Amino acid sequence: MIESNSILLFVTDAPKSASFYGQLLGQEPVEASPTFAMFILPSGLALGLWSKTGVEPAPAATGGGCDLGFKVATADTVDTLHAEWQGKGATILLPPTNLDFGRTFVAADPDGHRLRVYNVAEG
């Protein structure tokens, strides 16, 4: 049986990516090596950062093909995190915007993986 869930992102430089995510998430990885780092998100989901040169079979895609979503409790939190992440050097692809599902912004990590922070509108 499956014991837990994780998302593995293939990265160019695992320590650099671990530093980037550590700043954004405000936490240290629970595991770190020159080719891999693992964070446990508040939801319990594990986020792994794996140096793409060691992955078997080799990944065919690069970052940016999907969003890693971070749901937050309020629309104001979207704006707050946008300002914080921008201040920490995240590349902003979409500033805080109201879409049909609620308020959101999109940032990118050093490898182009899209990070979507969002709040679902009530009603």
* Buried b / exposed e along 37-64 (16+ C-beta atoms within 10 A): bbbbeeeeebbbbbbbeeeeeeeeeebe
pLDDT digits (tens, 9 = 90+) for 74-111: 999 999 999 999 999 999 999 999 999 999 999 999 99
Q: How would residue 119 be classed by pLDDT, with cut points 50, 70 and 90?
A: very high
Using pLDDT thresholds of 50, 70 and 90, give the confidence band for residue 3.
Answer: confident
Question: Looking at residue 87, what is its pLDDT?
Answer: 95
pLDDT score of 104: 98
Question: Is residue 29 reached through a cis peptide bond, with omega within 30 degrees of 0 on the bond before it?
Answer: no
Structural domains of the chain sorted by starting position, each given as residue range(s) with its CATH number in brackets: 6-54 (3.30.720.120), 67-120 (3.30.720.110)
The pTM score is 0.91
Which pLDDT does position 63 carry in this prediction? 82
